[in-house]
Structure 1
Amino acid sequence: MKSDFRFSNLLGTVYRQGNLVFTDDGTKLLSPVGNRMSCFDLIHNRSFTFNYEHRKNIARIALNKQGTLLLSVDEDGRAILVNFISRTVLHHFNFKERVLDLQFSPDGHYFAIACNRFIQVWKTPDFTEDRQFAPFVRHRIYAGHYSDVTSVTWSSDSRFFISTSKDMTSRIFSLQSSENDVAMTLAGHRDYVVKAFFNKSQEIIYTISKDGALFTWEYTEKPGDDGSEEDSEDEEQEDTQTNNKPMSWRITAKNFFHSDAKVKCATFHADSNLLVVGFYNGEFRLYELPDFNLVQQLSMGQNAVDTVNINKSGEWLSFGSAKLGQLLVYEWQSESYILKQQGHFDSMNALCYSPDGSRVVTASDDGKIKIWDVISGFCLMTFTEHTSSVTDVKFAKKGQVLFSSSLDGTVRAWDLIRFRNFRTFTATERIQFNSLAVDPSGEVVVAGSQDTFEIYVWSVQTAQLLESLTGHEGPISCLTFGQENSVLASASWDKTIRIWNIFGRSQQVEPIEIESDVLCLAMRPDCKELSVSTLDGHIAVYDVEDANQLHLIDGKRDIIGGRYLEDRFTAKNAARSKYFTTINYSFDGLTLVAGGNNNSICMYDVSNEVLLKRFTVSQNMTLNGTQQVLNSSKITDGGISLDLIDRAGENSDVEDRLDNSLPGSHRGDPSVRSYRSEIRVNAIQFSPTSSAFAAASTEGLLIYSIDSTVIFDPFDLDVDITPEATLETLADQDFLTSLVMAFRLNEEYLIQKVYEAIPLQDIKLVSSDLPIVYVNRMLAFIGNTLIKYENQHFEYNLLWIRSILSAHGKYINAHKHEFVSSLKLIQRFLAKVGKEVVAVGKKNGYFLEYLQVSKDLNNQVQEEEGERIDEDEENESDNEAIIEDEDNEEESEWFGPGGEKSTKRIEYGSESGDSSAEEEEGDDEDDDSDDNIEV
């Protein structure tokens, strides 16, 4: 089995904090998820996560207009410059201050960052005249505010920008030093200025304050005497050189939102004059400016709308709420949701792959079960029927039924076709179920609890409690079934493992004694081996049939244990997490993957007892357990880290100082006043295809897969591929090369010509040698051909389909998501034609039988006629010989009375249709030849 797994995607969380950014074409949305970055393709319904990580959670992101450079900054001001197209990290940089806002200029030459009360403008990294890459060169620092800057907005021509601040003012700055006289202050608000915007003509400025006031500013003449100085602290004047009249930005209109909550965020689309405002109570509104007409008023929940953005066309709006991790993309014209996603509120407890590997189900402490699509990364369905923490989830063998256990005392069965709960299993008394297992046949479901020492068995069909298996002397901790037969393994606090035969209602072998507490069980798919993870850091492998120990893996040295902020000892001496709490077998049973309450995922070769690869779960330093060494500069004299101090009470905003979270909502001791999450892996499982595995961690659902995206195609390097060269190659009967060249040129007529020129006897060979990168395109081409030309080359196309599926079936099965569209085309046509063929066959069944019988009769008649013809030829030859002899002897006597030559004898002998009559006449001729002559 391959072990070159790499991080491929992050599911289970869609937004954490920061701002959302649309690409310039408006089809993709960038969202920060913790210390990583996710990109959602809203057109093709897909998502991916960049594989680079920040040291802390991302605070701000920005993408240049060209869509080539992505800049992300974390909470400490550390920035990472990424090539957005190739997803490659270009440079690391530290701004050394907290970045409050980050914006690229519309022309892409500069970007501005807001640090404390200053605005820094930097040149966008590019290749200069000397062809040297200069990552970050600062252009200028702008000052003038007396408090933190909240936002920076560029003008459309990239000459000016407006900054808003908590000092209740906005300031206009010019990018060029020659236009310094443009700088002025816009004052008049009574609360923080959240955002300011230019309109399309740049002659009107809109400023929005936190208390819900919208001011409209215009550059007009100042009323009063010429040359007068400032008469108000709210404005600044500027003398124009054209008419020498004092001009200034003045308030021409004041509007108010009149909302019960304060403004949290806002954005403005200059082309359509659309203003979008988000509030602290989860409400968002759409206004049309400058008339201030309310277009729509909606709500996305009860939590604050932390960020809002609008795409270039002004059709789609994106909203993010950090409290519950909500992400929303809304099309305001049609009043429909393009994307509506939300992650788990609490940590994930369990996960399970569907049998085909296309979906992952996660369970959480918040009582919800979510179904995630592996390819798109989106949540397909959420089940909320459980009233307490969901502890385990399992699929039935066919993948249409899902089972879940919960601390609310129920085990539920879910129909994944209709997405409903159709069975609920309960015990005779109310107990909390913490483990679950499903029989491979799907007829029996078992569950265990830490409240009792019994294992409960239910029938799926009737939902009746069939039996309770007794024998353990302690609470049940783990249950697992194999995939081949109904062998159940259970572990308990009594430090024993028991193997049960469910349908035989007996134990298969004697109980297996374990020296340490059992944390997790995993049975090999063929039900011949059982792996046990114990508290002492070992993974023991036992034979299921005779309970003998086969292998022992010591994982203590392989685990990377981090140091918590409150630890008085080093990470090397920490023993809290030197064990695995979850393990799982690969599909072939040769590899074992393990994770626990630590920052590492280990992959082992079971037969050789060696470590194949180790993965680091996260590098996020805001989580406990990710650092190996603490920063000594933050350690006080008492040995306590300054990072343990919750400074939320020092925030300037009242809304940020309030803590509405429930005490004890996190795992552990509720009395411990710690607000930092701990890094851990609660569940891990291989995909059924063994091409990927998923880990439910504190950061979310991490997907690691074998990197098969880059497949080398030698034709990509050839510049001599032309239609003429393709036809020449086809004339030389190099069919595979000509077919690939036609696909490279992507000309439909050329592909059709090459495709139809391949002989029948070469289809199998060409299909087997076809490169993997062209298999999907080939199937799509055949599907389109079948749809377009229904009655042409039907059998020829079917031979191609059979050959391709036979040659590349394993790859297609492992990458079903890539071939969905092309296979659906073929399936749709074959289903249609298949129905027609079956209908014609049923309708003309008797007629076909008649034709078959008629064919057999015709063959029999033809054989008989052939024999008769042979006999006729023999008789004719005899008659001709007799006639010749008689003509030679008595030729004069063959004339009739009228003097004409008689032909009666010849006609009688040659044209008679009855073979029997011919035989009789022949006999008469032989016997009575003299009489005939006399007559």
Structure 2
Amino acid sequence: MKSDFKFSNLLGTVYRQGNLVFTQDGTVLLSPVGNRVSVFDLTNNKSFTFPYEHRKNILRIALNKQGSLLLSVDEDGRAILVNFRARTVLHHFNFKDAVLDLQFSPDGTHFAVACSRFIQVWKTPDLTEDRQFAPFVRHRVYAGHYSDVTSVTWSQDSRFFISTSKDMTSRLFSLHSEEKSVAMTLAGHRDYVIKAFFNEAQDTIYTLSKDGALFRWEYTEKPTDESEDESEEEDESRMSWRIVAKNFFFSEAKVKTATFHAKTNMLIVGFTNGEFRLYELPTFTLIQQLSMGQNEVNTISINATGEWIAFGSSKVGQLLVYEWQSESYILKQQGHFDSMNALAYSPDGSRIVTASDDGKIKIWDVVSGFCLNTFSEHTSAVTAVLFAKKGLVMFSASLDGTIRAYDLVRYRNFRTFTATERVKFNSLAVDPSGEVVCAGSEDTFEIYVWSVQTAQLLDTLSGHEAPISCLAFGSENSVLASASWDKTIRVWSIFGRSQHVEPFNIYSDVLAIAMRPDSKEVAVSTLSGQLQFWDIENAKQVNAIDCRRDILRGRYQEDGFTAKNSSRGKNFNTICYSFDGLSLVAAGINNSICLYDIRNEVMLKRFTVSQNMQLSGTLELLNSKNMTEGGPLDLIDRDGEHSDLEDRIDTTLPGSHRGDPSARKTRPEVRVMAIQFSPTAASFAAASTEGLLIYSVDSSVVFDPFDLDVDVTPMATLECLKGKEYLNALVMAFRLNEQYLIHQVYESIPIIDIALVALDLPVVYVDRCLRFVALLAMDSPHIEFNLLWIKSLVTAHGKYINRNKAEFAGALRSIQRFIARIAKDVVTVSKRNGYLYYFLKSSYDIEADASDSNMLEDVESDEEIEEESSDEEGWFGPEGKQPRSSFAADSDSE
């Protein structure tokens, strides 16, 4: 069992707040999710989340045009500079104020930061410059606004930028000091100016205000009296930016955000009621008018080609990518509105199902990070989800008093199980065969057992003297383990004749239970912070681990004592065995996930759930200056100080520590409600306050024996190929990642050695080899050669591929596409060859019949000649009739 797990992705949430950014090619979208940044590859259907974390939620992100530097800033103005391609943190910096906008210049040499009422322009770090002490060098600070700056927009040539502010004005600035005369103030709006844009020729400026007014400014000549005599030197002083057109949206809602695509002159505007519109400028022609829901549109971004538009709504965590020309959605995702309660891996490890307090169940694809389907049949919080029937059926338990079964082939709810009385189900267990489903409740002391086929209540298991807290089924002999508030666990034989069981006394409240995959051992987590392991056959305790010192406990804002003296969170609420039963992962209402070795009773590794300071329980020490007479400074309601009316209206719910962090007055607490290992043993998932955290084994550390003593160069690769060391040459070519070299080695391997090379190929190169063969085979004329490679690779590494279906999904789809195309071509060619064969055969038959008739006529004429010269020896031979008889025999045989 490997223990080198690392954070790899964040699912369950696609957008929180801030702005969305497209890469230069327009196929990759960057979205801030809490204090992290997620990247969605829209063409390859993949996603990943950067491993670094901010101390607070991210407010703005920006990516330079070259796609090499990513700059993200949190709510306190702390920035992190990241190498986007290498995914490594380069520098930390503090702007010391809330950043309202952040934009890189089109040429990538500078970036502008809007802090309060000032605009700071900084130089972008450049590799060509000499080494310098500070990566960030400030170019200049621009002032002029007397209220907060709302946006900054660069011109196409990176010489100018225009800023908008809450003081209802826009200001034009020049990057270079010699062009400072360009600076000008554009006034005339009656509400906050939200955005301002340059057109492609930079001779027109559009300014947009919150009340729905769009002004078009052009650089024209000032009106003067005809009687005045003016010299040519004064002509430039008479040029100025003036309003030439005013347009209005006439919407009941306020304008929230907007963006402009200069190449196509298209303006996209988002409103507070969830509506968005597309206009063509300068004619102000309405192209489309749609809505993404009832909540406001917080951010809009458009890619470089102007085809895809991204929308984000922070209220419900919704993310849309819309293709306006075809009027279709490229991406339409939304996270859980409330906190997640449970999760379950599919048997092949390619999907994860999550359940939430909002009553919804979502199915997530592990590789892409996207939600595949949402079930909303439950009317209350969903407390548990489980798979059965090899992943074709899913079961869920809810506080609405129902257990539901879902068909994951047709994505529908086909069974609903209820008890004889209305009870709230808080635990669920399913027989691996999918024939029986069991559920427990805190309202009664019984365990309910239903038949899946008939949906009838088969039995109620009685014996516990307190409410049921958790259930677990064994995968080998269908043994059911249950835990209760009566400080006991019981093991039931569901299909046995006797239902009499002996309780195992735990001497503390059981918070979680898990059964080993071989159904011979059960593990429980207790309220006293202990992990206990019981042998089911002998009914005795075999191991125990004290976890209280392993848990990272944080201090809450309202606590009057230190985290060391707190009794909160000193236990685990969810545990899960590894696939081999030798390790166990545990988590709870604290900031730690612990991985334990059961045999040696030691902790292998501890993971920190989050470093977000906006969650309670992440800090061990608090700053005393934040404590006031009215309580903690961070918990004082300051909504009445906001300048906007909609920000002053309080619509949040008070007091809850769970649920949507943006919809609560108090800070949500860091917690992990469910945790589970992947069936492939390569990762595990944790349902936390921040979302669904995925920790996986780094595939780059897989042992490769060819890293030991081989000098990997192209010349060495060709030498190995000449020496008929085909496996070494192929692996060295893959390590060099040169396509021409891989192609040369691949086609130089003899057919007789393909099976042997495929069998000995290290598993780290199987996926790359399959992808290369699939890509090459689409245009290669060597069909049989490529099919032999595919057959040998699949035969030799079929078990490994089956265990890691999610990793090989892309390669297998490419192989399937190639085989489907080849099969189609082969069928087409065979049909054509069949028709050609029939044609040639019929033509041959006609010619054969004609030749036979001609030969018969020749024979008859020869017989007449023979009769006339029977007394002489002719060219027929001495016998005369012998040639004819031989010919007749040949004709008869034919």
Q: Same fold (TM over 0.5)?
A: yes
> Residue in 1 aligned with 2:241?
249
CA distance in 1, matches of 2:144, 2:777: 69
- Give RMSD over aligned pairs: 2.9
8 A Cα contact 2:349 2:806, kept in partner: no
Deviations 1:836-868 (A, max 9, x none): 99xx9xxxxxxxxxxxxxxxxxxxxxxxxxxxx
Q: Aligned with 2:674: secondary structure?
A: strand
8 A Cα contact 2:771 2:811, kept in partner: yes
Deviations 1:164-209 (A, max 9, x none): 0001011111111111111111111000000001111111110000
Task: Report which stretch shifted further, 209-218 or 239-248.
Answer: 239-248
CA distance in 2, matches of 1:83, 1:219: 40
Once the two structures are superposed, the pairs formed by residues 715-730 of structure 1 within 5 Å of their partners are 720-721=713-714, 729-730=720-721
Once the two structures are superposed, the pairs formed by residues 185-204 of structure 1 within 5 Å of their partners are 185-204=185-204
CA distance in 1, matches of 2:215, 2:491: 74
CA distance in 2, matches of 1:717, 1:333: 54
> Residue in 2 aligned with 1:679?
670
* Residue 276 (structure 1) shift: 0.4
8 A Cα contact 1:508 1:545, kept in partner: no
> Residue in 2 aligned with 1:234?
none
Task: Describe the shift of the 1:416–1:240 C-alpha distance in structure 2 as closer, same or farther (beyond 3 A).
Answer: farther
8 A Cα contact 1:448 1:477, kept in partner: yes
* Residue 826 (structure 1) shift: 5.0
CA distance in 1, matches of 2:128, 2:794: 52
> Residue in 1 aligned with 2:54?
54
* Amino acid across the alignment from 2:86: S
CA distance in 1, matches of 2:13, 2:252: 30
> Residue in 2 aligned with 1:530?
522
> Residue in 1 aligned with 2:650?
659
> Residue in 1 aligned with 2:557?
565
Once the two structures are superposed, the pairs formed by residues 477-492 of structure 1 within 5 Å of their partners are 477-492=469-484
Q: Aligned with 1:817: secondary structure?
A: coil
Residue 601 (structure 2) pairs with residue 609 (structure 1): yes
CA distance in 1, matches of 2:750, 2:550: 57
* Residue 375 (structure 1) shift: 0.6
Task: Describe the shift of the 1:239–1:682 C-alpha distance in structure 2 as closer, same or farther (beyond 3 A).
Answer: farther
Residue 328 (structure 2) pairs with residue 336 (structure 1): yes
8 A Cα contact 2:5 2:696, kept in partner: yes
* Amino acid across the alignment from 2:434: G
> Residue in 1 aligned with 2:425?
433
Once the two structures are superposed, the pairs formed by residues 731-770 of structure 1 within 5 Å of their partners are 731-740=722-731, 754-755=745-746, 757-759=748-750, 762-770=753-761
Task: Report which stretch shifted further, 645-654 or 70-79.
Answer: 645-654
CA distance in 2, matches of 1:549, 1:68: 56
CA distance in 2, matches of 1:571, 1:327: 38
CA distance in 2, matches of 1:240, 1:616: 71
* Residue 755 (structure 1) shift: 4.5
> Residue in 1 aligned with 2:874?
none
* Residue 505 (structure 1) shift: 5.3
Q: Aligned with 2:714: secondary structure?
A: coil
CA distance in 2, matches of 1:226, 1:487: 101
Q: Aligned with 1:126: secondary structure?
A: coil
* Residue 656 (structure 1) shift: 1.6
8 A Cα contact 1:440 1:485, kept in partner: no
> Residue in 2 aligned with 1:458?
450
CA distance in 1, matches of 2:434, 2:352: 19
Task: Describe the shift of the 1:182–1:745 C-alpha distance in structure 2 as closer, same or farther (beyond 3 A).
Answer: same
> Residue in 2 aligned with 1:808?
797
CA distance in 1, matches of 2:556, 2:400: 33
> Residue in 1 aligned with 2:68?
68
CA distance in 2, matches of 1:227, 1:124: 52
> Residue in 2 aligned with 1:144?
144
* Amino acid across the alignment from 1:184: M
> Residue in 1 aligned with 2:808?
819
Task: Describe the shift of the 1:735–1:673 C-alpha distance in structure 2 as closer, same or farther (beyond 3 A).
Answer: closer
Task: Describe the shift of the 1:116–1:226 C-alpha distance in structure 2 as closer, same or farther (beyond 3 A).
Answer: farther
CA distance in 2, matches of 1:478, 1:74: 40
> Residue in 2 aligned with 1:217?
217
Once the two structures are superposed, the pairs formed by residues 184-583 of structure 1 within 5 Å of their partners are 184-225=184-225, 241=233, 243-244=235-236, 246-504=238-496, 506-507=498-499, 509-583=501-575
- Among 763, 767, 771, the alignment partner of 1:776 is 767
Task: Describe the shift of the 1:25–1:226 C-alpha distance in structure 2 as closer, same or farther (beyond 3 A).
Answer: farther
> Residue in 1 aligned with 2:881?
none
Once the two structures are superposed, the pairs formed by residues 620-635 of structure 1 within 5 Å of their partners are 620-635=612-627
* Residue 471 (structure 1) shift: 1.1
8 A Cα contact 1:346 1:666, kept in partner: no
8 A Cα contact 1:509 1:545, kept in partner: no
- TM-score, normalised to structure 2, is 0.87
CA distance in 1, matches of 2:147, 2:667: 29
Structure 1: tracts of 5 or more residues without a match: 229-237, 841-935
Aligned length: 822
8 A Cα contact 1:311 1:317, kept in partner: yes
CA distance in 2, matches of 1:170, 1:81: 29
CA distance in 2, matches of 1:196, 1:777: 47
* Residue 741 (structure 1) shift: 5.5
CA distance in 2, matches of 1:311, 1:126: 25
* Residue 822 (structure 1) shift: 3.5
* Amino acid across the alignment from 1:29: L
> Residue in 1 aligned with 2:165?
165
| Fraction of identical pairs, as percent | 73
Q: Aligned with 1:690: secondary structure?
A: coil
Structure 2: tracts of 5 or more residues without a match: 831-894
Deviations 1:228-270 (A, max 9, x none): 9xxxxxxxxx998473551211111000001110000010001
8 A Cα contact 2:656 2:668, kept in partner: no
Task: Report which stretch shifted further, 649-658 or 91-100.
Answer: 649-658
8 A Cα contact 1:227 1:246, kept in partner: no
* Amino acid across the alignment from 1:107: D
* Residue 738 (structure 1) shift: 3.5
Q: Aligned with 2:391: secondary structure?
A: coil
CA distance in 2, matches of 1:834, 1:754: 27
* Amino acid across the alignment from 2:419: A
> Residue in 1 aligned with 2:637?
646
- TM-score, normalised to structure 1, is 0.83
CA distance in 2, matches of 1:805, 1:400: 25
Task: Report which stretch shifted further, 644-653 or 485-494.
Answer: 644-653
Task: Report which stretch shifted further, 760-769 or 270-279.
Answer: 760-769
Q: Aligned with 2:432: secondary structure?
A: coil
Q: Aligned with 1:121: secondary structure?
A: strand
* Residue 734 (structure 1) shift: 1.8
8 A Cα contact 2:680 2:804, kept in partner: no
Residue 586 (structure 2) pairs with residue 594 (structure 1): yes
CA distance in 1, matches of 2:319, 2:234: 51
* Residue 821 (structure 1) shift: 3.9
* Residue 744 (structure 1) shift: 6.8
Task: Describe the shift of the 1:789–1:269 C-alpha distance in structure 2 as closer, same or farther (beyond 3 A).
Answer: closer
Q: Aligned with 1:816: secondary structure?
A: coil
CA distance in 1, matches of 2:747, 2:349: 36
* Residue 558 (structure 1) shift: 0.5
CA distance in 1, matches of 2:482, 2:450: 16
> Residue in 2 aligned with 1:862?
none
* Amino acid across the alignment from 2:564: K
CA distance in 2, matches of 1:434, 1:226: 86
8 A Cα contact 2:654 2:666, kept in partner: no
* Amino acid across the alignment from 2:287: V
* Residue 115 (structure 1) shift: 0.8
Task: Describe the shift of the 1:727–1:520 C-alpha distance in structure 2 as closer, same or farther (beyond 3 A).
Answer: closer
